[in-house]
Amino acid sequence: MEERRNTELRTQALADCRSRIEDARASVFAAGDGVVKANMTALEGEWLALARAERSCEERTLALWNAIAPRHWAGRLRWPSTGDVAADAEAAIALASDPEGVERAESCALRLASVLATWEFDVAPTVTWHVAREPQIARADALLERPLRALTDAIASTYGAEALVARAHRVERDVLDAATQSPLLSTNEGLALAADLALVARVDFLWGACAVEARRVGAAHDDAASPAAALLELWKTGYVLSAIGGQGVTLGAFTP
């Protein structure tokens, strides 16, 4: 009888906590700045304490997710459960705090997958998330190797090719110099991302040059979107590409 009463009290407390999380989440959306306030962190801790008696980590995480995520996201985690309740709670709050940005990033990821598929990349049209303080970042050079080679070949036999390629390299150096001045890119991962951003700028410059002069990049790609532009659009959402391939696309989100 006492155990049943304790279960009822815990259920009521969880419901109350979830209600207050919904209110806190609504205030984040109303502010429109994407900043997660301290009370949301405190509520996360309260929820974790109340959820300890639930049967599994995944069930605890799903309960929190259903409480704070948009209703049309409920019932399915957007990332593989880590088995760590605290880490999964951080992931839930990070993604649920930015539903529009998350959906925009997923849309960009699927567009990137579609564009890369035209370059014979084996990419499954699915998206999952990796949420961590330092999520893995997929390097751009591996993704853009084939397009860059095709663009270089398309320009090589045309008038002014040498000068055009030199300008493309200057664009890359300028972007790299500017990016490395940012304190946000001062870590090893940030410097790698700066190098990727510079490479993307070079590829996109060459793509534009081919389009303006009607240079044929290849029959399958004359009307295709720039893979560099597609990757850049993804980065503009504030998220990163962690992995892409036959298993689908994995997007990276940073936690504090």
The whole-number pLDDT of residue 192 equals: 84
**Residue 13 predicted with pLDDT over 60:** yes
C-alpha–C-alpha distance, residues 239 and 135, integer Å: 10
Q: What percent of the chain has pLDDT over 70?
A: 82
Degrees to nearest 5, angle at CA 133 with 127 and 136: 50
If one counts every other C-beta atom within 10 angstroms of the C-beta of residue 53, the result is: 11
Q: What percent of the chain has pLDDT over 90?
A: 36
Q: Place 190 in a pLDDT band, splitting at 50, 70 and 90.
A: confident
Mean pLDDT value of segment 14-35: 71
Is residue 128 classed as helix, strand or coil in its secondary structure?
strand
* CB-based contacts of 29, cutoff 8 Å, min separation 6: none
Pairing of strands 127-132, 248-254: parallel
The whole-number pLDDT of residue 3 equals: 41
Name the region of 83 (left: φ>0; alpha: ψ -120 to 50; beta: rest). Answer: left
The whole-number pLDDT of residue 10 equals: 65
Segments making up each domain of the chain, as ranges: 2-97, 101-254
pLDDT in tens, 46-56: 777 666 655 56
pLDDT in tens, 212-243: 776 766 555 555 678 898 999 999 999 999 99
pLDDT in tens, 103-113: 999 999 999 99
Instruction: Give yes or no for a contact between 158 and 215, defined as CB atoms under 8 angstroms apart.
Output: yes
20 burial level (CB within 10 Å; 0-12, 13-18, 19+): middle
Among 30-34, 39-43, 65-69, 154-158, the range with the most confident prediction by mean pLDDT is 65-69
C-alpha–C-alpha distance, residues 205 and 54, integer Å: 54
C-alpha–C-alpha distance, residues 196 and 50, integer Å: 44
pLDDT in tens, 146-184: 889 888 888 887 777 888 899 999 999 999 998 888 876
| Mean pLDDT over the full length of the chain | 82
